[in-house]
Structure formats: structure tokens, C-alpha cells
Homo-oligomer: A and B are copies of this chain.
Amino acid sequence: MSRRHVLILAGGRGERFWPWSRPERPKQLLPLASGGRTLLSATFQRALRLTDRSRILVMTAMDLREACQRECPGAVVLGEPVGRNTAPAIAAAAAWIADEDPFAVLPADHAIEDTDAFAADFERAFERAERDRVLVTFGIRAVGAETNFGYLERGAKVADRAYRVARFTEKPDRTRAAEWTASGEYLWNSGMFVWRRGVFFDALEATRPALASALRGLEAGGAEAFSNALRDVFPGLESISVDYAVLEKAPNVVLIEAAFDWDDLGSWSAWARRQPHDPRGNVLFGDAIAVDCDRCVLVGDGGTAAAMGLRDMVVVSSGGATLACRLEDSDRVREVSEAARGRVRA
């Protein structure tokens, strides 16, 4: 019988939560999940519903390995020497897995509360991947005209809440996002997948043969030796997402419409929607003081964040830096973190 694995992708640097997130403590290591857990720890807990901890792989940046290991005790934590997007990360981690074994891919920075529905849906996905030579992806029923996600267009129905994928799309503009959401034929692309190692590598070989051949035969050894071996291989690899390299081109993609809730917490406003609010609609996290504020998000982590007389604002104080912006601008935080990085370099 095949053995199921889970690969957690924890390589992101997540600048959208600056100054709370920093290169050395990116989004997946922040206590953004319910109960004040880190997103990575919450993802690990969900992965434990799917397999044993020894078969959970975490792929992260070399310098974040220790921090990730603390959040995922008993898991195998692998380090990338440089970031090359999701296709090389998934292909490299797949070297740990026997060719006929299936594995799930879970980004480390998603918020999912309904763990029972999550486990049931992945059980279905594993069963299908074990049986058929398909690439299973999860689509999320669109609950708003989001412009920050890619979308999946549903094709022919193959089972209850399961469809062929007619088309992968990039992030749409607002008009198109509204049309797609209204049509009911489009789902958000969650970036979560289940497939057999061999099926994945065959699909990769068809579209990106150089990438597939560089990683398919990689010898595993221990996590330390393996991470060191990646130092030689990774810098020369193409930086490309698994959606673009494989899923948009493969003919055998099946989507399961998720029965569980999902959010990628892509911004302060997305995170704040899930947090407890005070009577005036403010989210106060850590050392935060609101005087006469409404619908504000105040975060003080290693510093006091105080606001007075504000509406619909974000004020974050962390690690000796502060950001203030309107909640509706929280998608644009990267502009500030880039400016801040520029200053440090200057």
C-alpha cells in the first residue's frame, strides 16, 4: 500500500504584513492563525489530520529551517538556498517520496478553520490521486470579487463537487472578477494539490523537462545533506510557479470544490476580518491602545501601538518600526516595506 505524504510550502517572505513580518520572521511564522498560533503551526496541525508527522515535509528558506522545525516537531524540514517559486520547491521535496506514493501540497500561510471538512475533502483527493493518473487541485467557492487570487473555470462534472478544469486564469481585474463570481462557474485557485509523485513528475517532464530531470533523480540522504545538495542545483533552476509550469498545461487536472472555509490572509484587512472586534469594531492585538477609534486594526508586538480619533486605519508597531495606512490600502503595504528596505541598504 502506498504511503501518503504532505508537503508544506513555507518559503515565502510575506512582506504584506510589514513591519510585523520581516525576512527573518515572515508571515507563516506570525501568530495570525486562530488562538494566536502561527500560520505554519496551524498548517502543521491540519497536516497531522492527513498523515504521520514523519511523512510531513516542510520546504522553507535555508535560514528559516530552525524556526520552522520548532513549529513542526517531528517533520522533515528542508531548506532552499534561494527562492525559485513553487515548481522547483515541490519537485525538490518530491525526491523524498517513493514514485508511486501520493502527496498533498499545502501552502503554510492559509487560514482554514473547519479542519474536519478539510480532512474529509483531502481523503477524497488522496483516494482519487491513488486511483487515477490525475492532478487534483482545490477550488474555493468565490465569496467576493477578489482580484488578489487566480481563478479556476469549471469543466465537466466528474463527481459530487469534482470537475475537470476548463481553464486556469491569472488574477482578474475588478469587472471580470465580479462577472466570474456571479457566474458560479469560477472558483478561487487555492494553491493546494494532491497527486502521486510519478504523475507529477511526468506532467512536469512534458512541460519543463530540464526542471524535471534536474530534480527527479536527486538522492535524498538526511535533511541536512539534502538541503546542502540543493545548494548546487537550485541557483541554476528556472523560477516558475507550479500553476504556470504544470497545471495550466496538463490535460489531467481535476478540481474539488472545497467544503471547508479558506482564506490566504493576503493583507491586514483580510486578517482583521477573522479577528475578535471591540464594540466599536476595532481589532486590538498585543500592546494596543485605541482612543475614540472605529474599525481600526492596531497591533503592538514589542512596542505600543496607540491611535486616537481614527476610522478604518491600520497602525502596526513591531521590531522598532511602525506602519500607518488606511485599511483599504493594506494591499499596498509592499510599497512601504520596499521603501524601508531601500533605506536600510542606503
Residues of A that sit less than 8 Å from B by CB = 19, 287, 289, 291-292, 300, 302-310, 313, 315, 317, 320-326, 329, 332-333, 335-336, 339-340, 343
Contact = CB atoms under 8 A, between A and B. Distances in A.
Given A335-B308, A339-B289, A303 B324 contact: no
B304 A325 contact: no
A37 B19 CA distance: 30
Contact of A315 (B303, B324, B333, B339): B324
Contact of A336 (B19, B306, B336, B340): B306
Contacts of A308: 323-325, 329, 332-333, 335-336
A46 B16 CA distance: 49
What is the oligomeric copy number? 2
Contact of A313 (B302, B324, B340): B324
B329 A309 contact: yes
Best-buried of A300, A321, A333 by chain B (most CB within 10 Å) = A321
Contacts of A329: 308-309
A326 B296 CA distance: 14
Given A303-B320, A304-B343, 14 more contacts: A306-B321, A306-B323, A306-B339, A306-B340, A307-B325, A307-B336, A308-B323, A308-B335, A308-B336, A309-B325, A310-B325, A310-B326, A315-B315, A315-B322
Nearest to A305: B322
Contacts of A19: 304, 306
Contacts of A300: 322
A343 to B, nearest CB: 7
Given A304-B19, A329-B309, A291 B322 contact: no
